[in-house]
A and B are shown apart, each in its own frame.
Chain A
Amino acid sequence: MSAGDTEALMGYDDVLAAYDPALGLEVHVELGTNTKMFCGCATTFGAEPNTQVCPVCLGLPGALPVVNAIGVESAIRIGLALNCEIATWSRFARKNYFYPDMPKNFQTSQYDEPIAFGGHLDVDLEDGTVFRVEIERAHMEEDTGKSLHVGGATGRIHGATHSLVDYNRAGIPLIEIVTKPIVGAGERAPDVARAYVATLRDLLKALGVSDVKMEQGSMRCDVNLSLSPKGSGVLGTRTETKNVNSLRSVERAVRYEMCRHGAILASGGSILQETRHWHEDTGITTSGREKSDAEDYRYFPEPDLVPIAPARDWVEELRATLPEPPAQRRKRLQAAYSYSDLEMRDVLNAGLLDLIEETVTAGGSPAAARKWWSGEVARRANADGQDVPSYAAGLGVGPAQVVELETLVTSGRLNDAMARQAWEGVLDGEGSPTAVADARGLQLNQDSGALETAVDAVIAANPEVAEKIRDGKVQAVGALIGQVMKEMRGQGDAAAARALILSRLGQA
């Protein structure tokens, strides 16, 4: 079938009424090492094609691989963070297959003796509950090259006359993290899948082992799904949807496959065990290859690499380097910063927590840090297609500028509107907040005589409002403050204006 065809789908509620979903998630994460897993080639993303290749990663005869020490260290730290056991004896294996993305005709991976196994990860769901995902294993392997399919209508492999391969990515260290079958999630299955990948991403980021950019492919997810008749407890035939590369897509792909399986099973059909391709644009999956003997990889121990036997004291040293679990850190910081749940969610969605924490550490208040990192800079970063931390880093703007800006406000030099102007200047590259304020002549008018003149003029011009305030309707003062600020051409101190108006009208 072609990518354009759509298949029958069962309503989501009907699926849940008749079936229990079982999930299995395989996540591949590219490590952020300087060099590849088995050779000293660089791993820079986006380099010119075939400029980061050597006899080892090109699979030239006689070339011998040597394991990257940081690759092993990262794998162990990931295993520990996932509450896994770390193998006392672990080895590499050859996974044999014919496909030009691996010039050796095998991928160096791990098979029967992975570095880490038997862990779990607790994930927070949308409904406030915590779901425990059991981890089967985490093993070391290498990434493949990138193929460009030529001659087909859409750059796809179907209809291509030939393919052009760039091996820069071949050999970059990968850790594959595999869950045990996730059962019992019911209607929450799509959310469990999304939350698991999100939690894993945060954890890997906190470990500092990868940049975990799903959009650049440094973290990729394969979604296995099957349905079993409700209450039967027997796992059904699964499909594996490959390369689902955003959190939202993970959730959608699970839901889509549940509804597709449901329709097939309910009509008396059976599920074909196969890989499925995910289509981001249309939100559907289409059939890939059938998993028959194509799955026969003839694994055998890699003769060119010796086993990895991590010493127990080294493993314990690495355990001591684990960061605070991200979920725990979020709860701690939310309480410390007095953010509401909604504020915290916005902060997390925008990826601002690190930046805010650094700003607070540098002397800023949590409220100001959240305010300045979420407004104008977020709008600009978004327009530029970046997240705020990378956008700000690109501008050379950091916590120090926010702290300086806040100080200009608390010291009484700038009011809020002026501070916004100063911040815009900083983002426009005009210099530090103070430099922008100087250059743009931003300065609150602290001339008390000018303020008194303005306040008296405004009270005189608004006798009715003034009367209300005299009678105790203090909230009416806002209208007068606005006029005073206008009189002072935006350079007035709103707090001082408020105090003076209230005092003049006997409400101080």
Chain B
Amino acid sequence: MAELTRDAVEHLARLARIDLDESELNRMVGELGVILESVATVQQAPTEAVTPMSHPMPLVNVTRPDQIRPSLTPQEALAGAPESDAQRFSVPRILDED
């Protein structure tokens, strides 16, 4: 398997909105690399006779009827919000103004 590059880790950190300084980046390249190598041993398993699957459960078509169930009250819904206003979740500004 391809080696995990420093660029890839930087890219992932940016996607995940995680600030990593130089030393953290270096450490992550090493640690994530070890994890990927360990996981890669799975690829040695003999899978020729196994059908690809996207889910471990042998189930399909699990649905529910289109019937309304009670929602939370707005008070309950907002109880865990660090900030709220006008019965809405208040979130920090979305765009960084450069």
Contacts and interface: CB of A to CB of B under 8 A. Distances in A.
A308 B60 contact: yes
A166 B91 CA distance: 11
Nearest to A298: B15
A310 B73 CA distance: 36
A148 to B, nearest CB: 7
A49 B94 contact: no
Nearest to A40: B69
Given A40-B69, A66-B62, A69-B64, A100 B94 contact: yes
Contacts of B88: 49-50, 148, 164-166
A58 B77 contact: yes
A114 to B, nearest CB: 14
B92 interface: yes
Contact of A164 (B65, B74, B89): B89
B74 A162 contact: no
Interface stretch (B29-37, B42-50, B51-59): B51-59
A35 B94 contact: no
A52 B71 CA distance: 6
B54 A69 contact: no
B71 A306 contact: no
B39 to A, nearest CB: 14
Contact of A309 (B11, B61, B94): B61
A147 B95 CA distance: 13
Contacts of A69: 63-66
A40 B85 CA distance: 26
A65 B9 CA distance: 31
Interface residues of A, number: 57
Given A34-B67, A69-B63, A100-B89, A48 B74 contact: yes
A121 interface: no
B14 interface: yes
A293 B14 contact: yes
A55 B80 CA distance: 11
Contacts of A96: 15
Main secondary structure of the interface of B (DSSP, over half): loop
A113 B53 CA distance: 13
B1 interface: no
Given A50-B89, A67-B63, A100-B89, A41 B94 contact: no
B71 A41 contact: yes
Interface in A282-323: 293, 296, 298, 301, 303, 305-310
B90 interface: yes
Nearest to B58: A306
B91 A306 contact: no
Interface string A68-97: 111110000000000000000001000010
Given A50-B77, A50-B87, A66 B63 contact: yes
Contacts of A91: 54-55
Complex A-B, nearest 9 residue pairs according to Cβ-Cβ distance, in ascending order: A40-B69, A164-B88, A69-B63, A70-B66, A100-B91, A309-B60, A165-B89, A306-B59, A49-B87
Given A69-B66, A163-B91, 4 more contacts: A53-B71, A55-B72, A67-B63, A113-B54
5 contacts: A33-B66, A50-B87, A51-B74, A98-B16, A100-B94
